[in-house]
Amino acid sequence: MRGPSLRRWAAIGLGLYLTAVVVVLLAPVSYAQIVGWITERVHALIGGAPFGAGWIEFSANIAIFVPLGFLLTALFRRHWLGVVIALTMSAAAEGIQGLIPSREASVRDIVANTLGAALGAFVAWMIIGARERSRSGPTDPEAP
């Protein structure tokens, strides 16, 4: 008996991921304070300030959207679709954030989010391709 498919796991993971994103998006929390705290820790760790708070936030936005690109690609089996959906969701999220007094919308965030989703989509695309190649068996380069 086969276990749950990759698509089923992707759908479950996507549901959990989207729930977490909605909670974070709508939480009346000052993310500037969180980014400031992380920036202080990074500066203390590396002994200087080569990475400012803007780069920390940009990197965090990339990391947060990697799972979305991965899960959408695993679910729909189209890497470009995962990136397009993530871009659309990111733009919508930034629009919503512009309506929340403690939050600030940013085109830079949309760029970082889309980069993260593209990275996740690329990883999923590579894994799916490897799985499909292993299922089809070895190919003979000498075959006509």
pTM of the model: 0.73
User: Residue 77 falls within a domain, yes or no?
Assistant: yes
Q: Which domain holds residue 68?
A: 6-29+58-134
Among candidates 109, 78, 79, 82, which has minimal Cα distance to 96? 109
User: Residue 95 falls within a domain, yes or no?
Assistant: yes
Total domains present in the chain: 1
User: Residue 34 falls within a domain, yes or no?
Assistant: no
User: Residue 119 falls within a domain, yes or no?
Assistant: yes
60/137: higher pLDDT: 60
User: Residue 141 falls within a domain, yes or no?
Assistant: no
User: Residue 37 falls within a domain, yes or no?
Assistant: no
Q: What is the mean pLDDT of residues 127-143?
A: 69
pLDDT band (50, 70, 90) for residue 2: very low
User: Residue 48 falls within a domain, yes or no?
Assistant: no
The pLDDT value recorded for residue 142 is 60
pLDDT digit string (tens) for 112-131? 999 999 999 999 888 888 77
Among candidates 136, 12, 3, which has minimal Cα distance to 74? 12
The pLDDT value recorded for residue 112 is 92
Q: What is the mean pLDDT of residues 43-58?
A: 71
Q: What is the mean pLDDT of residues 35-55?
A: 71
User: Residue 139 falls within a domain, yes or no?
Assistant: no
Alpha-carbon span 138 to 130, nearest angstrom: 12
